[in-house]
Structure 1
C-alpha cells in the first residue's frame, strides 16, 4: 500500500471513530437526561462514577493503557458504593404536573440555596476569575459545580414535563416549563464556557475527579433541599447512602 493511501486510511478510521464517539456521547447524555425524569437525582448523579469504570476497562483493552492496582481499587470502590446507593435509594415522588415542581422550586429553602449559588457564582466570575482563574482551578470548577446543581434541578423539572407530555398531559402550556427550559439553556452555556477554560488551563486528570466530587455533592444537596429526598427514609438508610457516596468518591479520587 502506498504511503498516501495508508495515511488516508488512517484519517478515515480516525474520522469514523470520532463520529461514532460523538454519537455515543450524545446518546449517553440523552439517556442521562431521561434518567432524571424517572429517578431521584440522589440516585442518578452518583452513578455517573460508573463511566469511570468503563473508561478504565476500555482503555486497558483497546488503548493498551495499563490499569495498575490503584486503578483496580478505584473501580471496585465505585462498584461497591454504587451498589449500596442503588439498594437504599429513596423512591421517586409522584408528580402529576410541572406546577408541583415549580412549587418545590419556589419554597423558601430552595430559593435561599439558589440565591446563595447565584451570589457566589457572580463573585467568582467578576472578582476571582480575573485574579486567580489562571492559577487556581477551584475558581472555574466552583462555577461549574455550583451552576451544575441548579442545572440538574432544572433538567429534572424539564424531564418530568416531557414525561408527562408524552403520557398525554401537555405541560408546555404552562409558563413554568418554559422558564425551566431557559434556565437549562443558559446554565449549560455558562458551565460549558468555564469547564472549557478549566480544561484548557489545567490538567484534565486533575480537573475531572475534583469537578465530579464537587458537582455531585452540590447536586445531592440541592436535591435534598428541593425534593426532600430523605424525608421518607429512616436513619439507617440515609447513613448507608452517605457511606456509599463516600465510597464512590474514594474510588473516583483513587490514582488511575
Structure 2
C-alpha cells in the first residue's frame, strides 16, 4: 500500500483538521517504525501539547493494529528547527510561559512578595488607625478638630507600626524588583482597605466598588505575568552610571524645571484652586525619589550580602536625594490633602505618580529594552486596567456615602502611601474639591 506523509504545522490548519478526523478510521505508520497505529484525535492533540507540536507522521490506510496508548508510547518528538513553524500559537504560548518562568528570577519573586506584603500591611494599617481614632475620639477630643488623645491609644500605635512595617517592605521591594512591577502593585492596598472597611468598620461597599477591586486584581496580575527581569547590579556605582547617562539626566532636568516653575509661579496663584498644581509637584518629585529609593535599596542589599556599599560617596548622594524628595513630597501632598477632597486627590495622584515613575524607570534602568513589544503593550493594558479599577472604587465610595449617608468613610491611597496619610489624623475628609472659604464659617 501507498503511504501519505503529512507534516503537522500551524501554516496548514486544514490539513491538521483532516489528519485528526481521518485518524478515527485510518491507522498511521510511524516514520521510523513498521507498526501501524490508530490514535484518536484526542491522543494526537494531547501529544501535540506535551511534545511542543514538532513531529512528522506517515499515514497508512490499512486496518487497526494498535491502541492509543501504544501510539503515545512510540511516537517520538524531534527537536524543533528554526524553520519549524515559529508562528504557531501553541509554540508562542509555550515560549511565553518559558520566558515568564525565566523572567521571574528569585529577585523578582522576592520583590513581588515584598510588594504584596507591603500592600497588606499598609491597607490593614488604615483600618487599625481608624479604629484607634474612633476609640480615642469617643473619650477625648477628636483628631479632626485638633485633638491629640489618639497618641494615648494603643490601637492607633499598632496601626502606625503596621504602616511602618509596610513601608519598609515597600522600600525593600524596590531593591529586588523593577519599579514597573512594584509601583502599580500599590493599588492592592485599596482592595485591602476597602474590604476590611466593609467587614470591620461596616462601611458600605458598592457593587461597582467590588468590580473596581476585581479590575485592580486583574491589572496587577497582568503586570506581574509580564514584568521584566530585574537588572543584575553588582555595585552602587553601576546605578550611578545609569543615573548619569544622557537620557536620565535630560529627564531629571525637565522634572526640576517643571517643579521650579510650578512652585514659584503656579503655586502662589493657583495652588488653592487647581488640584493639578500640588499633585504635579508631588508626582514629578516622586518619580525621582523612587529611582533614588531603588538605588539606596540596592546599595543596602549589597551591603547586607557582604559587599559594603557605604564606602562609596554615591550611596550617600542617593540618600540625600531621597531625603530631599520625600520632604518635598510630604509638604505638597499634605497641602493637596488639606485643600481638596481626598477621594479626588488619591486616584489623580496615583495616576500621575505611577505613570511618571514607570517612565523614569524605563529611562534609567531601561526596563523595556529586555522586553518584546507584546509584553510592553500588555503591561500598559494592565496598568490602564488598574487605573480604571482605582477610579471606579473611589467614585463608588462617594456614591455610597451620598446615598446611604453613613458619615465619612475610609479613604485609602496608593504608592508612597504613608506620606499621603500623614495628615489623615488631622482633617475631615468631607472637604470639597474647591478651596475651603474659611471666612464663611461662623
Q: TM-score, normalised by structure 2?
A: 0.55
The equivalent of 1:157 in structure 2 is 295
Q: Which has the higher contact order (CA 8 A, sep 6+)?
A: 1
SS of equivalent to 1:43: helix
1:1-256 matches, within 5 Å, as 7=139, 15-254=153-392, 255=395, 256=397
Question: Gaps spanning 5+ residues in structure 1: where?
Answer: 1-5
Q: Deviations over 1:129-169 (max 9, x none)?
A: 00000000100000000000000000000000000000000
**Do the aligned partners of residues 12 and 181 (structure 1) sit closer, same or farther apart at CA in structure 2, a change above 3 Å counting?**
closer
Q: Deviations over 1:55-74 (max 9, x none)?
A: 10011011111000121111
**Do the aligned partners of residues 13 and 29 (structure 1) sit closer, same or farther apart at CA in structure 2, a change above 3 Å counting?**
closer
Q: Deviations over 1:191-211 (max 9, x none)?
A: 000001111111111101100
Task: Tell me the CA shift for residue 123 of structure 1.
Answer: 0.3
**Do the aligned partners of residues 149 and 240 (structure 1) sit closer, same or farther apart at CA in structure 2, a change above 3 Å counting?**
same
In 1, the alpha carbon distance for the partners of 2:268 and 2:153 equals: 37
Task: Tell me the CA shift for residue 18 of structure 1.
Answer: 1.1
Q: Deviations over 1:98-139 (max 9, x none)?
A: 000000000000000000000000000000000000000100
Larger Rg: 2
Q: TM-score, normalised by structure 1?
A: 0.95
Question: Gaps spanning 5+ residues in structure 2: where?
Answer: 1-137, 141-148, 398-442
**Do the aligned partners of residues 12 and 176 (structure 1) sit closer, same or farther apart at CA in structure 2, a change above 3 Å counting?**
closer
In 2, the alpha carbon distance for the partners of 1:94 and 1:13 equals: 44
Let me know the Cα RMSD of the aligned residues: 1.6
Task: Tell me the CA shift for residue 12 of structure 1.
Answer: 7.9
SS of equivalent to 1:253: helix
In 2, the alpha carbon distance for the partners of 1:164 and 1:13 equals: 37
Structure 1 stretches of 4+ moved >3 Å: 11-14
Q: Deviations over 1:167-186 (max 9, x none)?
A: 00011111111000000001
Task: Tell me the CA shift for residue 7 of structure 1.
Answer: 3.8
In 2, the alpha carbon distance for the partners of 1:111 and 1:88 equals: 28
In 2, the alpha carbon distance for the partners of 1:248 and 1:17 equals: 31
SS of equivalent to 2:153: helix
User: Which structure has more helix as a fraction of its residues?
Assistant: 1
The equivalent of 1:3 in structure 2 is none
SS of equivalent to 2:231: coil
In 2, the alpha carbon distance for the partners of 1:208 and 1:28 equals: 18
Task: Tell me the CA shift for residue 17 of structure 1.
Answer: 1.9
Task: Tell me the CA shift for residue 16 of structure 1.
Answer: 1.7
In 2, the alpha carbon distance for the partners of 1:124 and 1:240 equals: 34
Q: How many residues align?
A: 250
